[in-house]
Amino acid sequence: MAATQAGVKRFYLILAAVALIGLGVLAYLLLRQDTVSIPANVTVQASDTSGFRGYIKGSPDAPVEITEFADYQCPFCQTFATLQMPTLDERLIKTGRVRWRYRDFPLQQHPFARLAAHSAACADEQGKYWEQHQRVYEGQSEWAGARNAAAIFRNYAKSAGLDLNRYDSCMKAGKYAGRIQASYDEGVQLGVSSTPTLLVGDRLYRGRFDSDALIKLVDSLAPRRR
């Protein structure tokens, strides 16, 4: 009788162990399914840059072009995007005085910078770049220290109304890794070493930016029409 009870106990222990292993495997697969990584230092192909100069907003006839080299995980870039850009957008870009060109410059010390940039690039192919761009910057404190930033970016894509099947395929394929690398390489060639950095004409401006100071700079380059 004792032997029978021991056998039953052992059977249930084995069954419980198998169940735990099964749950562990399932959890791993679910987590693995959402995990996305974007490679760095990839070989840039001609197709990565053909017809693409960056993410641009503003009139093609604007007298001044400003190129922003930025990193989505950079705190100063986040402050600039959320606090200063709305003013610049209203007073310089929408008024036709400035054409704004955004270029990705993911810093090595920021593990999710390329992933964030790629998320925005995948939104761009559905016509939702600036919506995703803004969501990613506004949510920086949420995803910068997360275990799975990709899942958070996917939620932003969902709230922006993206086709998630297309978005998922784009992210898993690392479709725009070459485009991001080309953007980074361009910055390095120009002498960019930190973010945010602005290129205005042939001069680089680094550090924290104030919208009033930038408006004055544009006024000096292209005075307002009276």
Q: Would residue 169 count as lying in a domain? A: yes
Task: Encode pLDDT of 10-37 as tens digits.
Answer: 655 666 555 566 555 444 444 444 568 8
pLDDT, residue 3, reads: 55
Which CATH number covers residue 210?
3.40.30.10
| Shared-domain flag, residues 17 and 106 | no
Residue entry with tokens 């953007």: 183
Q: Compute CA 41 distance to the chain's CA centroid, rounded to the nearest angstrom.
A: 17
pLDDT, residue 78, reads: 97
| Shared-domain flag, residues 69 and 165 | yes
| Shared-domain flag, residues 30 and 50 | no
Q: Would residue 183 count as lying in a domain? A: yes
Give the span between the Cα atoms of 120 and 135, in whole angstroms: 9
Mean of pLDDT values over 30-50: 80
- At residue 226 the predicted structure's pLDDT band, cuts being 50, 70 and 90, is low
Residue 67 β-bridge partners: 101, 199
Task: Encode pLDDT of 175-222 as tens digits.
Answer: 999 999 999 999 999 999 999 999 999 999 998 889 999 999 999 999
Task: Encode pLDDT of 52-95 as tens digits.
Answer: 999 999 999 999 999 999 999 999 999 999 999 999 999 999 99
pLDDT, residue 27, reads: 45
pLDDT, residue 144, reads: 97
Residues 178/48, Cβ–Cβ less than 8 Å: yes
C-alpha pair distances (Å), 144 with each of 82, 135, 138: 16, 13, 11
| Shared-domain flag, residues 21 and 51 | no
| Shared-domain flag, residues 56 and 138 | yes
- List the one residue out of 104, 119, 118 whose CA is nearest residue 154: 119
| Shared-domain flag, residues 30 and 74 | no
pLDDT, residue 165, reads: 98
pLDDT, residue 29, reads: 42
Q: Would residue 81 count as lying in a domain? A: yes
Q: Which domain holds residue 85?
A: 46-221
Output the average pLDDT for the chain.
90
Q: Would residue 179 count as lying in a domain? A: yes
Instruction: Specify the DSSP class assigned to residue 83.
Output: I
Domain count, the chain: 2
Task: Encode pLDDT of 119-154 as tens digits.
Answer: 999 999 999 999 999 999 999 999 999 999 999 999
Please tell me the number of Cα atoms within 13 Å of 82 on its side-chain side: 15
| Shared-domain flag, residues 161 and 213 | yes
Q: Would residue 226 count as lying in a domain? A: no
Amino acid code (one letter) for 129? Y
| Shared-domain flag, residues 147 and 114 | yes
Q: Would residue 41 count as lying in a domain? A: no
| Shared-domain flag, residues 53 and 81 | yes
- At residue 224 the predicted structure's pLDDT band, cuts being 50, 70 and 90, is confident
| Shared-domain flag, residues 135 and 30 | no
SS3 7: helix
| Shared-domain flag, residues 15 and 57 | no
- Its pTM stands at 0.83
Q: Would residue 211 count as lying in a domain? A: yes
pLDDT, residue 30, reads: 43
Q: Would residue 40 count as lying in a domain? A: no
| Shared-domain flag, residues 81 and 183 | yes
Residues 197/206, Cβ–Cβ less than 8 Å: yes
